[in-house]
């Protein structure tokens, strides 16, 4: 791997780790990683309320970690990054297993 490509890959990895370094975003990705969730479901199961929820979901959207789907008034979130899904699986195995 050449230096420029290695640097670009390191930048991508740093952006992912920065997004995961916030507890609310980590918990959101854990929930969304289990399947598509609407904003109301995320708010109820994680006890994260507006405007924090919207701010953290915006960060995840801006980093292309989640994608949205609108159904009427509801917005549904799902993971859009296979790398993030793989990282979340490793974290789940190491930190969430009984």
Distance separating alpha carbons of residues 60 and 39, to the nearest angstrom: 13
The predicted model scores a pTM of 0.88
Domain 10-95 bears CATH identifier 3.30.470.20: no
Task: State yes or no: pLDDT of 98 exceeds 70.
Answer: no
Q: pLDDT at residue 61 above 70? A: yes
Q: Where are the domains of the chain?
A: 10-95
CA angle centred on 70, ends 92 and 61, rounded to 5°: 50
- For 6-36, how does the pLDDT look when each residue is reduced to its tens digit (9 = 90+)? 999 999 999 999 999 999 999 999 999 899 9
């Amino acid at each position: 791997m050449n230096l420029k490509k290695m640097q670009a890959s390191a930048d991508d990895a740093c952006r992912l780790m920065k997004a995961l370094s916030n507890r609310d975003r980590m918990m959101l990705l854990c929930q969304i990683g289990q399947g598509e969730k609407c904003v109301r479901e995320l708010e109820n199961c994680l006890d994260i309320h507006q405007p924090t929820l919207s701010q953290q979901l915006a960060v995840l959207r801006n980093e292309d970690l989640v994608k949205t789907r609108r159904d009427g008034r509801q917005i549904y979130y799902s993971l859009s990054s296979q790398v993030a899904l793989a990282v979340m699986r490793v974290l789940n195995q190491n930190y969430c297993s009984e």
